[in-house]
Structure 1
Amino acid sequence: MHAKLRPLRSTAVAGSAVLALLTAASAPGLAADGPTGRPELPTRIDGGAWPTSHVQGVTVDHERGFVYWSFTQMLVKTDLSGKVIGTVEGLTGHLGDIDIDDRDGRVYGSLEYKAEESFYIAVFDVDRIDRVGMDAETDGVMTAVHLDEVAEDFTADMNGDGVFDGDVADTPDHRYGCSGIDGVSFGPGFGKRGGRQTLKVAYGVYSNTERTDNDHQVILEYDIANWRKYERPLSQSDPHHSGPKRYDGKFFAYTGNTTYGVQNLQYDPSTRNWIMAVYEGEKEGFPNYSFFTVDGTAKPVRGEIAGQPEPETGRLLKLREAGLRDEATGIRGWEFHGNLGFDALGDGRYYVAEGRAVEEDGVKKQEGWVRLHRWTGDTPAPFEPID
């Protein structure tokens, strides 16, 4: 997820000057063993306040009782009461949305280095995160896999002038308006009700209201079964490019304009929908909703990717026929705030992240927490808090 706030240098969060942050505020409803043997889920969990940019994503390991928080330059591990177990620091790139792979227990997140034109899936060995201040490069807790396809679309010279304009929104460059990556989630293939879980990676998309080719959400699919051969520790001063040369699927969802694309992507096993939370777009002529759902049971169909400089077809995803409907475009969606973090628990309940800027002892920080919600399907917002 891209910050709308000014990011702080990672040096502000490195080292051991965070002793006061060893514990976060306890959540109401402290975790206890439930009837299934799994911890009960509190209605609120606090992720602490950190001298970073805002919370970008959250994923809950219900079985083992841990929560993982992306704070842009830091990964935070807490238990279900909000007690901090450890942190991974020293990231100079942009850590966005995160998700846990239930098969190996590791946490995967989008990680961008735009100046270096390098885009990764960061892989955190969360079992080894056991103290505050662990270093992403040197403590053996993080590896990374490079995504060539993202780099190619980000650096595409779309106007053919021989110059790539860099991390600039208002330029013709960047295929599909690609600004990098943000949303990530594991789930079955699009159109399938089960089967092998694959990693879906959503593009960030520049809003740029002067172009017409950036009104789709773009999602790459990867089967990560053999990814360990690509994983490398990441030297941020000399980033590697070890990763798959090809993706396993590339899909397009017509949502209209957004600001930085899918901030949080999540597969919901209880509804079999794919959830996309975004920052609202700015183009006239679109509803500019902040929340969309893709019908996960509908098979992608090949069709025109509207608005491209040259006619182009691709595999199109179907938005669910629910929620608000814009009569002019037919686009369906909702108004909801899932763009700071969203986790579907698989039983009709969801953790939704919120955050705010705070100041402690003269230090500016970002605080993050999640609140438990249930699905209602109502409009304009399809969730309600569970108190």
Structure 2
Amino acid sequence: MKKLILLPLFFTVMTWNALAQQKAELPVGLPDSIYSGKQGGLHVQGVVVDEVNGYVYFSFTDRLVKMDLTGKLIGSVIGFAGHLGDLDFDAKNGKIYGSLEYKNDAIGKGIRKELGLKNKNETGFYIAIFDGSRIVRPNMDAEKEDLLRTVYLAEPVKDYEASVTAGTEIKPHRFACSGIDGVAFAPEIGAANGGKKYLYVAYGVYGDTDRDDNDHQVLLKYDVANWDKYAQHLSQDQLHHSGPAKPLEKYFVKTGSTRYGIQNLAYDSHTGNFFAAVYRGAKTQFPNYDLFVIDGHRKPVNSQIVSENKKIKVKTLSLLQAGPQDPKTGIRGWNFQWGATGLCPLGKGLFYISHNEKTKDNQQQTTVFKYRWVGDTHNSFIRVK
């Protein structure tokens, strides 16, 4: 009889302890979900949280939206004729960093058509640096108001504008570079957690199925400590070229092809790894996962990849040895529907992940939901409810 009484009591205590521990691990003050509201005709690209001041920022391609954690609109920055992409937050200076593209490909033309603007042939890839404290009302102008600086990135422009030999054809864009998108602050890859953080910028990569030089993701590493000397006001009629001549490092990681590369890049200090959400590729020889995790603990390896029909020396990164593994290629990743339009680590294994959608009146919106990282063979994330 005692055993029958004590056993349920034992499990009740264990369950209560587990629930209490999970509750204690949740970041204080962060709701389970935040709704962006309707935000025009261009979809959400990224999300980042300023936990210290209690704000969330959404990138909606042609605008930056600032809200408090209850979903109340605080302000917005509009007027971008380019593609404002993924976001990250620098806790050291309290500023928001986002990728910003100006180009004349299908994406650039589509954005300008949506906004009713004339086409331009100028190409410019930038990191946009926002002072969130100056975003105090809706519809602030990106060019006219003093709340934004931009830094030009020459390296991806060079690759984007290059023509290369792929097989027997001349193809545009070295490494199939379509621009930049994913951004993340993180320590040096392969070093112990902590220490100085660098800005990592991921290429967009065209997903053409008839070329073999687009099966790697490309990450650039920058030290932003001295970027004040480069930062300029945004002038979309005359794009500036003020920025570092080259990155500190250029890394490659083999994932198989994707559509437009790493859409959201996020460094999670809890695991020490990089999370890369993509639009899945179409090459049948690859598993075409939606989510990859780059092992932040393994040092870059000197290796070779094929470019312009020859082998070139590069530094490669490793995918995390976890989750499903494709038996033919050895590539590991996960099938996960969400993340390409917003993936924000919150600490202690938790993330905000964007569920974007279009409304019946053709407005774009998203709700970010809280997820817990699992990373096993069956699940990448599990939603916290």
Length-normalised TM-score, structure 1: 0.85
By how many angstroms is 1:354 displaced?
1.1
How far did 1:377 drift? 1.6
Where does the alignment leave 5 or more consecutive residues of structure 1 unmatched? 1-33, 161-169
- The number of equivalent residue pairs is 341
Q: Which runs of 5+ in 2 are unaligned?
A: 1-22, 105-121
Is the aligned partner of 1:62 residue 2:51? yes
The code of the aligned residue for 2:339 comes to: G
Letter in 1 for 2:353: V
Task: Report the CA distance between 1:309 and its aligned residue.
Answer: 2.0
Q: Using the TM superposition, give the Cα deviation of residue 375 of structure 1 relative to its aligned residue in structure 2, in angstroms.
A: 1.2
What is the rounded CA distance, in whole Å, between the counterparts of 2:66 and 2:378 in structure 1? Answer: 33
Partner of 1:352: 353
* Pairwise CA RMSD: 1.7
Tell me the distance in 2 between the aligned counterparts of 1:295 and 1:95. 27
Q: Identical aligned pairs, as a percentage?
A: 48
Give the structure 2 partner of residue 8 of structure 1.
none
Aligned residue among 368, 372, 377 for 1:379: 377
Q: How far is 1:171 from its partner?
A: 6.9
Deviations 1:178-229 (A, max 9, x none): 0000000001011112211000000000001000010000000000000011
Report Cα offsets for 1:71-110 as digits up to 9, x if no partner. 0000000010000100000000000000000110000000
2:71 corresponds to which letter in structure 1?
G
Question: What do residues 259-284 of structure 1 show as CA deviations (whole Å, max 9, x unaligned)?
Answer: 10000001010001111000000011
In structure 2, which of residues 81, 84, 92 is the aligned counterpart of residue 95 of structure 1? 84
Q: Partner of 2:198 in structure 1?
A: 198
Checking the alignment, whether the CA contact within 8 Å between 2:163 and 2:170 is kept in structure 1 is no
Q: Deviations over 1:114-163 (max 9, x none)?
A: 13111000010111000001000011111100000010000002149xxx
The letter of the residue matching 2:147 is: V
* Structure 2 contact 159–177 (Cα < 8 Å) conserved: yes
Greater Cα offset, 364-373 or 104-113: 364-373
The residue matched to 1:153 in structure 2 has which SS?
helix
Aligned pair in 2 of structure 1 residues 346, 171: CA closer, same or farther (>3 Å)? farther
Asked whether the equivalents of residues 89 and 135 of structure 1 are also in contact (C-alpha less than 8 Å), the reply is yes
Q: Secondary structure at the match of 2:157?
A: helix
Q: Is the 8 A contact 1:180 1:203 kept in 2?
A: yes
Q: Do the aligned residues in 1 keep the contact of 2:164 with 2:170 (CA within 8 Å)?
A: no
Q: 2 CA distance for matches of 1:240 and 1:195? A: 32
Cα distance in 2 for residues equivalent to 1:381 and 1:250 = 31
- Pick the structure with more helix per residue: 2
The residue aligned with 1:125 is: 131
- Decide whether the 8 Å contact of 1:335 with 1:380 is kept in 2: no
1:368 to 359, 366, 380: 366
Relative to 1, partners in 2 of residues 1:224 and 1:51: Cα closer, same or farther, differing over 3 Å? same
Asked if the contact 2:198/2:221 (under 8 Å) is kept, the reply is yes
Q: Secondary structure at the match of 1:352?
A: strand
TM-superposition CA deviations, 1:289-342 (whole Å, max 9, x none): 010001101000100124652211100000010011000000000011210100
- What displacement does 1:379 show? 3.4
CA positional deviation for 1:378: 2.9
* 8 A contact 1:39–1:62 mirrored in 2: no
Aligned-partner residue type, residue 253 of structure 1 = V
> Which residue is equivalent to 2:70?
81
Matched, 1:333 2:333: yes
The CA distance in 2 between the partners of 1:289 and 1:51, in whole Å, is 30
Q: Which residue among 59, 81, 96 is the counterpart of 1:107?
A: 96
How far apart are the structure 2 equivalents of 1:183 and 1:60? 16
With 189-198 and 258-267 compared, the bigger mean Cα shift is at 189-198
